[in-house]
């Protein structure tokens, strides 16, 4: 996503990530070498609080009004309808399977 923004002449955005475990009974453990990962893996109950923390961690406005409009135009220009993408992907794999069955 960062590369897409840069390729389209937009400033890079902070990309934050989380791994959310939906089963509350899952025990989350990390090896000492991966202690930073422990902050990225959370249970679903902790998600609302973590989202608030993430929002507050971004203090500056990244996109001004002009850049925001430019980003919206670029996204609309490069938009691929999910239905078209998936049907094309399915057709691609069907063709590959048909070729295999001919062997």
∠ CA(1), CA(82), CA(90), 5° rounding? 110
Nearest to 73 by CA among 16, 14, 12, 10: 10
> Band of the pLDDT at 87, cuts 50, 70, 90?
low
Which pLDDT tens digit goes with each residue over 25-39? 999 888 888 888 888
The pLDDT of residue 97 is 55
């Amino acid at each position: 996503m960062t590369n897409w923004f840069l390729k389209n002449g937009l400033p890079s955005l902070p990309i934050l990530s989380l791994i959310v475990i939906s089963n509350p009974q899952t025990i989350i453990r990390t090896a000492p070498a991966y202690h930073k990962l422990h902050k990225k893996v959370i249970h679903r109950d902790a998600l609302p609080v973590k989202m608030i923390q993430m929002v507050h961690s971004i203090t500056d406005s990244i996109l001004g009004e002009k850049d925001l409009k430019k980003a919206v135009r670029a996204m609309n220009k490069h938009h691929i309808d999910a239905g078209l993408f998936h049907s094309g992907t399915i057709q691609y794999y069907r063709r590959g399977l048909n070729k295999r069955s001919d062997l």
